[in-house]
Every structure is written in C-alpha cells, then in structure tokens.
Amino acid sequence: MDGRGRDEELTAIAEFDSVGLRYGTGAEVLRDLDFRLANGGFYFLTGPSGAGKTSLLKLLYLAQRPTRGRIRLFGEELSEAPRESLPPFRRRIGVVFQDFRLVRHLSAFDNIALPLRVAGATDEEVEGPVREMLAWVGLADRASARPPTLSGGEQQRVAIARAVINRPDLLVADEPTGNVDAEMAKRLLHLFTALNRLGTTVVVATHDVGLISATAGAEMIRLDNGGLADPTGMLRNPPPRLG
C-alpha cells in the first residue's frame, strides 16, 4: 500500500462504513457511523461534550482502530491494515490536539520541524519553512522557547504550525481555538480556509459557533451520544438554529 496512491481517482478522502468504537469492554462510544468526507471539503464536527468527537478524530488520524465497520482513508481500506503500513498515511494528516501534545524538551522550532524531519528533510530544508511558519503564527521571537515557558495560546499556535507545516492532505483539529484570542482565532480560521483552498481537507471539532458561522461553504457533522445526529446526511453550514 502506498500513502500517495490513487489520488486522482479520489472523490472521498475518508469513508466510514458502519463504524463502531468501544474502549475495552465498555459501551460503544461511537456507533453506526456512515459518512464520507469529500476530498477538499471543510467540515466542522460538533456535539455536546462526551458525544465522541475526540474518538472520531482519533479514528481519522489513525490513532485508533474501529472495533467494527470499515474506514477508507485516501482511497485505502485502513481499518485492518498492518501497522507498518500506517506511517505514510499519517504523514498526510496534520493534527491539532486539544492538549497541544508538544514535546516539552524541544524548542518551538524543533516541535514545528518534527513532521518535516520525520519525512526526511535535512536541517537546511527545514530552516526556511519553520521560520516562515513561526512568523505566521506570531512566534518568530520565541523559536527557541520550550513549551513549558510558552503561554497556552502560544503552545496552541506552535501545535497548529506543526500540524500544517507539511501541507497535509487532511487536517484534523480538536478545539483549535480553545486557547487563543479572537484575533488569533480569526487568523487560524484564515489559515485553515487557505489550506482548504489549496486542496487540504479540513475537519475541525469545535463548540465555537462563531467559527462555524464564519466559514462559508463548510459542512457540519453533528455527533450525539456516539452516533450521527442527522443520520440521513450531513447538515449544511451554517445551521440556522446554531447561528
């Protein structure tokens, strides 16, 4: 399996077919998920706390396998793919975690550079893009700062820069504006839509109604109690009742 195969034929970047997920022997946290994410689409994932948004994102960024059903990503069936075949697909996915997941002993620069280095870029190749990204998220003067010395908002921006530095095909963000001010939230949304225009499929889990309503053309997936709230199809954005 090749992480970059069959791109041209793709219309859906992700397809969920009767997907269910349970942790251990507990109840299913996700059940009967049937939906597809179009290549190049922009999606908001909403729902109350505990609805299963983070679990669904974990399935999307290949941190978790479904306990039933099938998931196709980038045109490949990956639900039961051997683990050795997953890294090339993961490199095509950028993830912004709710808790940032920055490596504490690495500088902001090194954290942002990680995806490029994992993909085999040399120090020289990494320098320019990382500096550019640092400047873009307003942290040019904090390049050598380590995460514990950064504020929550700054850490969030480093996490976002790390997620988008290698222009992923799929960007998954879990509450990306939870720790940033309104101005930065606007800039982040602008970055996400810019990436989306360049072809990146964006999936953002958020409670931020303002973010949803400010994104023209985005679609919404609403989860409730582990299932799709609108099983007949995805709601269009902006949903009038949420606005």
Partner 1 sequence: MLGWLFASSADRRLLGTDRFRGPTPWVIAIMSFSIMLIAATGLALASTASALNRGIETRYVLQVPNGGQNLGALIAMLKSTPDVSSIEAVPESEMRLTLGQWLGPAADSADLPVPALVNFDARQGTDLGAIQKRAQAIAPGAQVSAHRDRVAPLLRSMHTLQWVAFGLVILLSGAAAAAVVLAARGALDTHRFTIEVMHGIGATDLQLTHLFQRKIALDALAGSLGGAAAGALVLLLLASGASFVGELTGGAALSAVDLLVLLSLPFLLTALATWVARMAVLAALRETL
**What is the C-alpha to C-alpha distance for residues 79 and 157, in angstroms, rounded to an integer?**
31
Interface positions, 100-119, toward partner 1 (CB under 8 A): 101-106, 110, 113-115, 117-119
The conformation of residue 234, written as its DSSP 8-state character, comes to: P
Specify whether the CB–CB gap between 47 and 224 falls below 8 A: yes
Nearer of residues 47 and 168 to partner 1, judged by Cβ: 168
**By CB under 8 A, residue 91 contacts partner 1:** yes
Task: Choose one: 4-12, 29-37, 97-105, 177-185; the region binding partner 1 (CB under 8 A).
Answer: 97-105
Angle at which helices 182-197 and 152-164 pack, to 10 degrees?
0
List the beta bridge partners of residue 221: 45
**By CB under 8 A, residue 221 contacts partner 1:** no
**By CB under 8 A, residue 86 contacts partner 1:** yes
**By CB under 8 A, residue 214 contacts partner 1:** no
Q: Total number of residues binding partner 1 (CB under 8 A)? A: 33
> Could you tell me the smallest distance in angstroms from the CB atom of residue 225 to partner 1?
25
Nearest to 2 by CA among 74, 61, 59, 64: 74
> Could you tell me the smallest distance in angstroms from the CB atom of residue 115 to partner 1?
5
Interface positions, 109-168, toward partner 1 (CB under 8 A): 110, 113-115, 117-119, 122-123, 126, 162
Nearer of residues 71 and 212 to partner 1, judged by Cβ: 71
End-to-end Cα distance, the chain: 43
**By CB under 8 A, residue 68 contacts partner 1:** no
3-state secondary structure of 56: helix
3-state secondary structure of 19: strand
Q: Is the dihedral of CA 179, 181, 187, 190 positive or negative?
A: positive
Binding site for partner 1 (CB under 8 A): 61-65, 83-84, 86-93, 95, 101-106, 110, 113-115, 117-119, 122-123, 126, 162
